[in-house]
Amino acid sequence: MKHLLKKIAMLAVAGGIAASAQASPEADREAFQNFYKNRFASVPMEEYPNGVYSIDPVGRENWEAIEEFPPYEPFIDEGQAMWEKPFANGKTYKDCFADGPAIAGIYPLWDKKNGMVITLPLALNKCREANGEKPLKYKKGSINDILSYIAYESRGQKTNVIIPKDDPRALAAYEKGKKFYYTRRGQLNFSCANCHLQNAGMNIRADRLGPALGHTTHFPVYRSKWGTVGTLHRRVTGCNKQVRAKPFKAQGEQYRNLEYFLTYMSNGLELNGPGARK
Amino acid sequence: MQNKMIGYVMILAMLLFGGLSTVQAADGAKATNPEAAKVEKMIADADKARKKAASVEGEWRDVGKMLKKAKAALAKGDYKTAKKLAAKAKSQGEMGYKQAVAQKDLKMPSYLKY
Amino acid sequence: MTISTKLLGIASAGVLLAGQLALAPVASASGPSMVEEGKNIAFTRKKGNCLACHVMAGGKAAGNIAPPLGAMQSRFKSKAELKAQIADATVKNPETSMPPFGRHKILSDAEIDKVVEFVWSL
């Protein structure tokens, strides 16, 4: 009898774990956002798009000073010129993106036809290739100009990632991204969550670890460390390298699914890119 | 004496053929030196371990670099360095595989409350 | 703290630890240098980088992710237990953020022994 009770208890525990490992995206997002609400009780939800500066008053002062003369401004201007300049065939980006340039809010999105997550950089390159132009590189270079322009024009839109219910592959992609987020990697054995969830708000050496909530709202980002604007996938590449894991390909399946999951976690937060960071 | 000859041939080959020379020197060394063959096998095994880790998305950052360096050391005839690097790369390949496989099933952290 | 008082401290710790010397035979003669070497490894970013997370006496710009390291001899029963924690902290706590310095060979066994000597002295 005792044995049976123990077994039932064990099953219940296992059931509990399974429940959160396979929870619905909405339940995931609630748990995710509640974690930060509990940890940083005085920080309103609208602050999280400001990243680490939502929880680091000292860093925030410097950041606010930087934002008075935004270092990403020239990139926005360059991007606008790119947006308006016709391709060799006479067409422009506008022919691909009728609602453009303020289109950041709909990405990343699930592409049912191709069965994959489409991010904004990927969509931009698809447009270029369809018009006979060379694709842009996904981490550095002029892709950041046009991304800066689109991000700027999209400011104020709300993160609203949709996982369509009519295609189970969309949920599977989300689940893969979620798995990636919580998996320890590299010789140093860190998951994304170790630093940006579990230890958010703590200092690693003299640097404060930023919350994951809001991580996706402000890309592309001008990083003082880079001295230029870079993409989200460039930043994630850096994270993976820091834990001594081999990074994956920018815009490859792993990072696209990760972006799908991570952006979903910030659903409801305002887009405020391009951003400026240390 | 024979070693000296090989050395001269290597230098000459390097001068004459540039990039090609390393490959030829390594091949030459392999033919005459069982040690070189052994190191080559170690590097190949390490590369297998690296690929196995990559197949489960568990490859570590420096394994590829170590193997490159090991190959360069082998080409120069520095077997000691090449062996050390190959062994380290293999061990890191195995650890990366193990790490990924141990987390095959997603386990949500307890600090997230559902 | 001057070097001489540090040495004194280490020497007296050595006396106190006489009972455990059987476990760590190298402690008395080569102890001080082991401690110094361990400190170097612990503070170096590409080695232990313990300061990334732990406040430790003598270290600058330390993080606060993990508990400050002090009074170690009241927190760990033996050097062996401390070594096990450094080698793989996930054994005691699967959710720890601490890298498994031994299991993943981030440090060599000899390096971990030195770090243990240093941390034990805190």
Of residues A270 and C17, the one with the higher pLDDT is A270
Q: In this model, does residue B1 exceed pLDDT 70?
A: no
- pLDDT tens digit sequence for B33-49: 899 999 999 999 999 99
Domain CATH code at residue C29 = 1.10.760.10
Q: Domain span at residue C63?
A: 3-120
pLDDT band at A22 (very low <50, low <70, confident <90, very high): confident
In this prediction, residue B6 carries a pLDDT of 52
Q: In this model, does residue C106 exceed pLDDT 60?
A: yes
pLDDT band at B106 (very low <50, low <70, confident <90, very high): very high
**pLDDT mean over A104-108:** 98
In this prediction, residue A56 carries a pLDDT of 95
Give the residue from C104, C105, C107 with the most B CB atoms within 10 Å of its CB, the best one to mutate.
C104
- pLDDT tens digit sequence for A214-242: 999 999 999 999 999 999 999 999 999 99
Percent helix, percent strand, percent coil in chain B, to nearest 5: 80, 0, 20
Q: In this model, does residue B31 exceed pLDDT 60?
A: no
Would you say domain A73-153 falls under CATH 1.10.10.10? no
Closest CB from A188, A199, A209 relative to C106: A188
CATH code 1.10.760.10 region(s) in chain A: 25-70+163-277, 73-153
Q: In this model, does residue A207 exceed pLDDT 60?
A: yes
- Percentage of chain A with pLDDT > 90? 92
The amino acid at C85 = Q
Instruction: Flag whether residue A241 sits within 8 Å of chain C, measured between CB atoms.
Output: no
Query: How many structural domains does chain C have?
Result: 1
Q: What is the Cα–Cα distance from A205 to A225, expressed in whole angstroms?
A: 16
CB proximity list for A166: less than 8 A, separation 6 or greater: A112
**Inter-chain touch B95–C95, beta carbons under 8 Å:** no
In this prediction, residue C6 carries a pLDDT of 43
**pLDDT mean over A261-272:** 98
Mean pLDDT for all residues in chain C:
83
Among A253, C112, C84, C105, which residue's Cα sits nearest to residue B99? C105
Annotated catalytic residues of A are: 239
The C-alpha angle with vertex A232 and arms to A220 and B64, in degrees rounded to 5, equals 140
What residue segments make up the domains of chain B, in order of their start? 22-101
Instruction: Flag whether residue C63 sits within 8 Å of chain A, measured between CB atoms.
Output: yes
Instruction: Flag whether residue C95 sits within 8 Å of chain B, measured between CB atoms.
Output: yes
Q: What is the Cα–Cα distance from B19 to B35, expressed in whole angstroms?
A: 23
CATH superfamily of A25-70+163-277: Cytochrome c-like domain (1.10.760.10)
In this prediction, residue B33 carries a pLDDT of 87
In this prediction, residue C32 carries a pLDDT of 60
In this prediction, residue C19 carries a pLDDT of 39
In this prediction, residue B3 carries a pLDDT of 54
Closest CB from B61, B107, B114 relative to A246: B61
Strands A275-277 and A228-230: unpaired
Q: What is the Cα–Cα distance from C73 to A162, expressed in whole angstroms?
A: 54
Mean pLDDT for all residues in chain A:
94
Q: Is the torsion defined by CA of C16, C21, C27, C28 positive or negative? A: positive
Q: In this model, does residue A192 exceed pLDDT 60?
A: yes
- pLDDT tens digit sequence for A50-101: 999 999 999 999 999 999 999 999 999 999 999 999 999 999 999 999 999 9
